Structures are given as C-alpha cells and as structure tokens.
Amino acid sequence: MGIDTLFRKWFDKSEDEVKSYKPLVEKTNSYEPQFEALSHDELAAKTDDFKARLASGETIEDILPEAFAAVREVSRRTLHMRHFDVQIFGGIALHNGKIAEMKTGEGKTLVATMPLYLNALSGSGAHLVTVNDYLARRDAVWMGPIFHTLGLSVGIIQGQSQESDELGGSYLYTPGTHHDDPRYTNLTPCSRRDAYMCDIVYGTNHEFGFDYMRDNMVFDQSELVMRELNYAIVDEVDSILVDEARTPHIISGASTEPIEKYHRANEAVKRLTGAAEDGPGVHYVVNKKDHAASLTEQGYDKVEELLGIPNLANEPDWMHYINASVKAHGLFDKDHEYVVKDGQVILVDENTGRMMFGRRLSEGLHQALEAKEAVSVQRESQTVAVITFQNLFRLYEKLAGMTGTAKTEEDEFRKIYGLEVATIPTHRDMIRTDHPDTIFKTEEAKFRGIARELLRLYSKQQPVLVGTRSIEMSERVSARLTADKLQNLVIAERIKFEIENQKGLDKKSKNQAYSNILTPLTEAKLKSLADTARSLNLPVDPLSDEMQSWFLEQFGLAAENKVYLDEGLRHGIPHKVLNAKYHEREALIVAEAGRKGSITIATNMAGRGVDILLGGRVQNAEIEQAGAQEVEEDQEFASDTFVAFR
C-alpha cells in the first residue's frame, strides 16, 4: 500500500460522513408503517402538504425523512421497487450536494428519485443530467410514475441525433399517451420552455449546455426557455465533469470563407513526408503526445514549390490552410479519431468511442479532414457562443453527482467544483474479485495475452466484455480471434512453455526457437511455427488431442471444456464488435453480452445505461424492437440476475 493510499485511508472523511446519515435513514424508516397505511389520494396529497410547510417556514431538511418515505412508498406501489437503506444513504448524499459513489448494480437511477423530489418541492425545479438521450428518455419514463403519482410534472429534453435515431424535441411525461414509435409512448410533445417549466427535467449535458447558450443569445426575455439553475444531479459525473469538463460547446454561424484552397493545400500536403523527428527528406514533424504538427524548413521549401509561392511566410491565408492540412494528415487517423460515414467526416469521442454527430473541429481542421477524405468540404463556421461543462455546472445553486468510480477523481471534484465524494456501502457484500492489472512488455505480447485469455474463457463458456480505447484497437483484437490466428497462438504458447521448462535444451536452440515465435502471430505462418515445434520434438498440430489436452491442463481447464476449445480452434471464436461503426446495434449487443459463451469487444461507448443480462435474456422493449430478429430462441441459460449500468 503506497503513501498516497495510506494518506487517503487515514484522512478520508467519507465513511464518517455516510455514518452521520444513519439517524435520518432511521427516521425515514420510522415513517414507513404510517405511509403504507395511506390511501393513494392521501399519499398524493403529501406533496401539497410539504409545499405548504415549506411556505410556512420549514426547510427541506426538516421534511426530508417524510419526503423520502413518501417516495419510497410510491415507488413500492407503482414500480414494485422499494428503496433499500443504502439507497436512502445515497439519496441523502445527493441532497447534501455530494458525489455518491455507488457500485454497479446498486440502482443509482432509483436513488436519484428521492433528492429530485425533495429539491423540486421548492418550486425552482430539479435537473437530472445523463450522458445520452436514450438514458434521459428511459429514466424519465421509468421513474415518471413516482413523480406523477406525487403530483410533480416531468419534462424530457431530447436532441435530434443521427447516431441513435432520436426524434429530438421536448416532451412531457403523460401516462396513457400513445405514439407510433413505442420509444415515445407516455410522452407528449411540448415546447422547450414547457419542458423546462416542469418540476423535474431529464436531459443530456449537451442539451442543457446548448440551451443555456441559446438563452444567452436572445434579445427578449419572452424567448428564454430555461429558468433558474437550482439543483442538478449529474449521472456518470466523472465522465461529464472530468473527462469532458473542458470540452467547449460552440454555437456557430456561417462564414463566407472559400473552400477551394483546402483542396489545393491537401494535394500539396499529400506529397509531403512526415516523421516524429526532423531529418533529411522530412517535410513536417508530428508530436502526437502534444497534439502538434509543423512544417520543417524543407517542408516550407517543398510547399512553396508545389503551390508556386515565393515565400509562404508572407501568405498568412495559405499558412492557415497548409497548417490545417498538415495536422489533418499527421495527427488524425481514419477509424481512430474520426470515421467517414455517408459522405461526412464524423469525429469519434476518445472517452466513449461514440460518433459525435454534428460536432466539428475549429480552425479549418474539419475542412482539412474533409479534403483529405475527398468528401464535400463544408464552410468553416464563426463562433457565436461557447461554454464548457466546467463553467456550466458551476452555475447551479446546488450540484450533486453519482457514479461508480469517483474516488480516483476526488481531488479534482473538490478543487474545481467544491464537491466531496461519499462512498455508499453496497446492499449486499461484494463477491466480485478485482484482479490487479497485467502489464506486458510489448504490444504483441499484450495481444497474445488477450487472445489466450479469451480462448481460455470461451472454452469455459464464460461471457467476456473486452474494453478497448479505439475503433482500431477493437478491430485488431477481433482479428486475433480467427481460427488460423488461434492455432498459431496455441503452437507458439507450447513452444514458449517448452523453451522455459525443458532441461538440457542448448542455448542456441532456445534462441532460435524464441526468434521464430517472436514474429507477430498476425504475420506468422503455421508451417513455420510447426517446423519450430518439430525441431523441439513437440506435436505440430494445434487441433490434436495431445495439444488441446496440454492447453487444458496448462490453463486450469476441465476436460469437459475441450468441446468449446476445439470449436474455437477449428472455427474461430464467435464474437460481437461494438464500436462507433456499429453503434446502431449497441443496445442489442450489450444486452446480449452476458449470454453464456458470449465475447463482446467494445470501445468505451458500451456500458452507459444498458443492462447486461446474465444469460442474455432481453427484457427491454426498445432493445427487442431494435433487433429481436437477431436474438436466438434458445434461452437455456437465461437468468433473472443482471449487472445494471445505472
């Protein structure tokens, strides 16, 4: 245990903070029998009673236990979900303006209903901020019966999204309302202003940010859509307030800039040579760590020659286009930082792996990328308004957040937002085993380690979710799971084991064998590996009983696992790839990731708000609609247990 860890453990006040909530939790529990005895109408009337008490001088802290008890009872009746004591602890932390760190599956969506209701009683509104439109709509409709029964209105702010096929617009939660699209059942379209006037509003960080900027651009107060920023709970707070904190949100206006120079600059830069360091023949230097790319002296000369310009330094317009093109070619890789879809260059969020439809780079960079990919170049826009999430959320009178991973960012939350982290205990003892990270010396060793572990776990039919940082990485992992690559892997592993364990093997033979298996397995030939194995008197057929039995024994697998080991080696490991290229099927793929034997390779886009059901049984109507035809009929391994990303 390091000094930092010890220091945090000694001086962490989070545990004492949570323990101090116990009297409030006990008082909330004491009201349960009383509220259970109330009729539906009597329970609904509690909201007016609470508002009257606040108007007469009581504070929301005074009515907290009763308000929480009312929410719990209504939730039990309408959703058949009763808040556990630890969820009340979480609700108190959120009401107190803390970040509630709650483990996966502890029900953060339900926890938020208590502080949202309590803080909306003041009449100034409460916002629940989510990471995407799907979650905003899902959570509002899911939790809507609680607020509706208690007489509070619920608004939903949606952004029109090509990524998720969202319809956009604003809605009121209205039970019994029908819609041609089942995703919008129980929702009534309304104006943006009407949605914001609701007691509780669900929406994304992006929509709240853009609406705030639009309000600051209007000339008449009657055009404002938002009201005061009273109270907000930010879901996945580490993603929004840390990972995306300084990402500027920009409202732009059209410019009259000519676009033909982007094409000429691109044609010139295509003929230049880039490198990490300056040297003979190097026209521009790329520093990906600092996200910088610049022309060398040779580069200036070459560009002047290609464009027919005597002195590039005296042509600031051309410098703008050339610099943008150099960065586009040197710093941005297709299918990593961006993808090309339907004739458009679409950026990929490095934190989530999602395509960012409508988001464009500034300073001519996006136009340079469009010229690079030979798609239609859109004119650069002029910035009209800009705000970051860091600045936006500090405008709220009271701010809270919830996530499963807050402690690692605790210092930043405290210094920038004045937010403390409260770690909420789990309802049941944690039985998950968290293993330490495995560090590999080389990238090839890492890929072999991933493929070996996936083959081992697939043989056991254990579902696995593989997280990657980029589209490129997810596809490289996928390429390792074909039959030929796995056969290469097994022979290479057998050779490596023999070299390390066979006594009497001379140094020359060891070195030669090592040299032969160092070739990346994506390039290695089975015959070459088999020849190396033969020279060590080892079996050369990865499909043989002898080789498969060795693998089973070496990696602690039972004899009955041989069926799926053989299947994987003969036909490859069946798996799903989830990245920005296949985002349309995200809900279906993630929901089925818990199916027995399922292997899912995903960028960070997966996991925010979609339930991974152990056994793979799809229960969400939206997911069923998106891909019911792809779900196999066999539900032999279905289970009611699930891991919820809420």
Task: Report whether 348 contacts 474 (CB < 8 A).
Answer: no
Task: Report whether 529 contacts 491 (CB < 8 A).
Answer: yes
- String of b and e for 420-441 (b: at least 16 CB within 10 Å)? bbbbbbeeeeeeeeeeeeeeee
- Tell me: pLDDT of 5 over 70: no
- Tell me: pLDDT of 508 over 60: yes
pLDDT bracket for residue 427 (50, 70, 90):
very high
Q: pLDDT at position 622, please? A: 43
Beta strands 464-467; 292-295: pairing state: unpaired
Task: Report whether 129 contacts 399 (CB < 8 A).
Answer: no
Q: What average pLDDT does the segment 279-296 reach?
A: 93
Task: Report whether 64 contacts 88 (CB < 8 A).
Answer: no
Please state the three-class secondary structure of 520-586 as a single string.
CCCCCCHHHHHHHHHHCCCCCCCCCHHHHHHHHHHCCCCHHHHHHHHHHHHHCCCCEEECHHHHHHH
Which residue, among 377, 381, 382, 383, has the nearest Cα to 261 in the 3D structure? 377
Residue by residue, DSSP assigns 48-112 as HHHHHHHHTT--HHHHHHHHHHHHHHHHHHHTS----HHHHHHHHHHHTT-EEE--TTS-HHHHT
- Tell me: pLDDT of 174 over 90: yes
pLDDT bracket for residue 165 (50, 70, 90):
low
CA distance 537 to 524: 20
Task: Report whether 229 contacts 395 (CB < 8 A).
Answer: yes
Q: pLDDT of 40-68, one tens digit each?
A: 999 999 999 999 999 999 999 999 999 99
Helices (H), 336-409: 365-372, 389-393
Residues of the chain with CATH 3.90.1440.10: 256-379
Least confident of 119-133, 227-241, 414-428, 574-588: 574-588
What the block records as the tokens of 138 is 């899902």
Residue that has been written with the tokens 């979480």 in this structure: 90
CA distance 111 to 131: 17
Q: What is the mean pLDDT of the chain?
A: 87
pLDDT bracket for residue 630 (50, 70, 90):
very low
Q: pLDDT at position 501, please? A: 86
User: Does the domain formed by 3-250+390-423 have CATH 3.40.50.300?
Assistant: yes
What the block records as the tokens of 559 is 């004899």
Tell me how crowded residue 217 is: count the other CB atoms within 10 A of its CB. Answer: 10
Q: pLDDT at position 615, please? A: 64
- Tell me: pLDDT of 15 over 60: yes
CATH of domain 256-379: 3.90.1440.10
Residues 6+ apart with CB under 8 A from 151: 44, 47, 48
Fold of 435-474+573-646: Rossmann fold (3.40.50)
Q: pLDDT at position 636, please? A: 29
- Tell me: pLDDT of 14 over 80: no
The H or E element spanning position 130 is strand 126-130
What the block records as the tokens of 499 is 């070299």
Which residue, among 271, 291, 267, 266, has the nearest Cα to 283 in the 3D structure? 271
Residues of the chain with CATH 3.40.50.300: 3-250+390-423, 435-474+573-646
Contacts of 586-592 with C-beta under 8 Å, sequence gap 24+, read: 586/610, 587/134, 587/620, 587/622, 587/623, 587/626, 587/627, 588/618, 588/623, 588/626, 588/627, 588/630, 588/631, 591/616, 591/618, 591/620, 591/623, 592/616, 592/618, 592/631
Q: pLDDT at position 336, please? A: 85
Q: How many CA atoms lie within 13 A of 90 on its CB side?
A: 29
Q: pLDDT of 231-253, one tens digit each?
A: 999 999 998 998 888 888 878 77
pLDDT bracket for residue 613 (50, 70, 90):
low
Q: pLDDT at position 578, please? A: 80
Q: What average pLDDT does the segment 188-196 reach?
A: 96
Q: What average pLDDT does the segment 361-371 reach?
A: 92
Per-state percent for the chain, helix, strand, coil, to nearest 5: 50, 15, 35
Question: Can you say how many angstroms the Cα of residue 205 is from the centroid of all Cα atoms in its chain?
Answer: 14
Task: Report whether 165 contacts 135 (CB < 8 A).
Answer: no
Three-state DSSP at 341 gives strand
- Tell me: pLDDT of 633 over 50: no
Q: What average pLDDT does the segment 30-41 reach?
A: 97
Q: pLDDT of 510-559, one tens digit each?
A: 888 888 898 899 888 889 999 999 988 899 999 999 999 999 999 999 99
Task: Report whether 199 contacts 152 (CB < 8 A).
Answer: yes
What the block records as the tokens of 22 is 């116990």
The H or E element spanning position 154 is strand 154-158
